[in-house]
């Protein structure tokens, strides 16, 4: 069965469950296993949450366009937005002990995306920005650190 390749949502966290469902359907169709599907759903959720929060500052009139493309060996999910781009270089693995002692909670999303995906690309164009999340059917085993 064919599903629409695109999902367009307003920039509200209200739509995250729908985004995960869209991702899950396409990942399943692309032949990913259950664990890989869950990891992709989380990465797409984190990317979408970051766009809503940081690129659009919760402006619900703005749109996020999510596209699923099967690749030869898996799937690529593209999230396009016209908000502020964010710099992935600023993120590293969060130091949990330090974060909780400072009562901080941020900075985890991008690290999770990069850890769970085979490839993450942040693309800046004149008119829009994109995040590409690529997951293979046979992912290499995760390096624990």
CA distance 93 to 88: 12
Token pair for residue 23?
Answer: 């991702």
Sheet containing strand 74-81, strands side by side? 6-10, 63-71, 74-81, 129-136, 119-124
Segment near other proteins (CB under 8 A), from 79-87, 89-97, 118-126, 131-139? 89-97
Out of 23, 36, 46, 80, name the contact with other proteins by CB under 8 A: 46
Bridge partner residues of 10 (DSSP)? 63
Segment near other proteins (CB under 8 A), from 67-75, 84-92, 96-104, 121-129? 96-104
CA distances from 139 to 33, 46, 89, 143 (A): 10, 19, 24, 11
Q: Is 120 in the site for other proteins (CB under 8 A)?
A: no
Q: Is 16 in the site for other proteins (CB under 8 A)?
A: yes
Out of 104, 123, 125, 138, name the contact with other proteins by CB under 8 A: 104
For other proteins, which is the closer residue by CB, 84 or 125?
84
Picking from 16, 120, 119, 131, the residue whose alpha carbon sits closest to that of residue 81 is 131
Segment near other proteins (CB under 8 A), from 48-56, 84-92, 120-128, 129-137? 48-56
The structure tokens 């629409």 sit at 4
- Residues of the shown chain interacting with other proteins in the complex, contacts defined by CB under 8 A: 13-14, 16-17, 20, 35, 38, 41-42, 45-46, 49, 52-53, 94, 96-97, 99-101, 103-106, 108-109, 112, 115
């Amino acid at each position: 069965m064919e599903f629409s390749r695109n999902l367009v949502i307003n920039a509200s966290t209200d739509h995250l469950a729908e985004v995960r469902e869209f991702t899950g359907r396409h990942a399943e169709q692309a032949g990913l296993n259950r664990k890989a599907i869950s990891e992709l759903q989380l990465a797409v959720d984190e990317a979408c949450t970051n766009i809503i929060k940081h690129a659009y500052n919760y402006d619900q009139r703005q749109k996020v366009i999510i596209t699923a493309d099967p690749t030869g060996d898996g799937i690529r999910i593209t999230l396009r937005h016209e908000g502020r781009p964010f710099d992935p270089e600023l993120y590293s693995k969060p130091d949990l002990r330090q974060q909780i002692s400072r009562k901080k909670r941020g900075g985890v999303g991008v690290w999770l995306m990069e850890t769970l995906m085979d490839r993450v690309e942040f693309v800046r164009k004149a008119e829009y920005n994109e995040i590409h999340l690529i997951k293979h059917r046979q992912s290499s085993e995760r390096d624990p650190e």
